[in-house]
Structure 1
């Protein structure tokens, strides 16, 4: 027998049936694993692990998950529908008649009820259609939320006293815009965000229904 902590050879009549115990066997291993598992059982679950707990090898979602999916689906669909409506109205102005208008006043104002980087364009202009005088205030087909750079470009393009192109509806000449077919950068962000939220909520809802 060697003087080390293990045995150099087999021991007759031992519990291992003649097989020697080496240092790599580590008989305390099962106890360490049990201690580690006990710590894991006592450790608090993170919010993500609480939302998606493993049970029987399958994901178990909280009971209100379908409600959350439905709410996000409605929110995303509403954002996408709003963007689609703005895009449709903007596309219609591309077919309107063109005339000349004089800028009476113009500027931008911060939108107090929206995010900080949001400015509403303001303009008043006069134009004539078939001898009739009209005054317009629409810059685009729908309300726009301009970024800081877009607001600076707008103020540089439409100054008081300038003569600019105006686009009016031939059937209703009182309806006119200065920038046809345009959507602001924030409108595009809203449209993309609505699409992402809608698709994500739809896929999550399908996954939840599959595992119920």
Structure 2
């Protein structure tokens, strides 16, 4: 009974995480912007596809912040083609627009919004599928235990 429970818990966390990312992406379309400066920009080869690591600083009121999120999109390539183009656009010292969450100014992006792909939607669908499997397996285990119980 522990495995279906564990799978169900993982599924709920997956659903909540992906839904939260989609919600933040949608909200970022209406975030205010401020000026910022790129303080670090270099190629990152940590995944299958090379990407750019970009860190920037910005101020909201009199408070300084740093960020490194380019966007909520799973692929920077939709904006600039590849990591080299990203680095050309977001080079160290470049002055850029930073979009920040007015309720939590430390949350920011350089490109607001979200390209609808299957990454987060796929995560949500997978989460519901896993949750369904966990419920089904749990129900089967429960029914088998009831069937094996001997009446007194």
Q: Which bracket does the TM-score occupy, shorter chain normalised?
A: 0.5 to 0.7
From 63, 68, 83, give the equivalent of 1:138: 68
Q: What is the TM-score when the length of structure 1 is the normalising length?
A: 0.47
- String of CA shifts for 1:77-135, please: whole Å, max 9, x gaps: 22222222323333332331023444343245344xxxx537775212344656x5845
Q: Does 1:159 align with 2:108?
A: no
Aligned to 1:86: 21
From 88, 92, 100, give the equivalent of 1:168: 100
Aligned to 2:138: 205
Shift, 1:201, TM fit: 1.4
Higher relative contact order (CA 8 A, sep 6+): 2
Shift, 1:164, TM fit: 3.8
* Secondary structure in 2 matching 1:95: coil
User: Structure 2: 5+ residue runs without aligned partners?
Assistant: 147-152
From 122, 127, 133, give the equivalent of 1:194: 127
Partners of 2:55 and 2:35 in 1: how far apart?
A: 13
- Aligned CA RMSD, in angstroms, stands at 3.9
- 1:14-163 equivalences in 2 (<5 Å): 66-111=1-46, 116-117=47-48, 122-127=53-58, 134=64, 136-139=66-69, 146=74, 153=81, 155=83, 156-157=85-86, 158-160=89-91, 162-163=94-95
Aligned to 1:21: none
Partners of 1:194 and 1:207 in 2: how far apart?
A: 20
User: Structure 1: 5+ residue runs without aligned partners?
Assistant: 1-65
Q: What is the TM-score when the length of structure 2 is the normalising length?
A: 0.60
The structure with the greater share of residues assigned to strand is: 2
Shift, 1:189, TM fit: 3.9
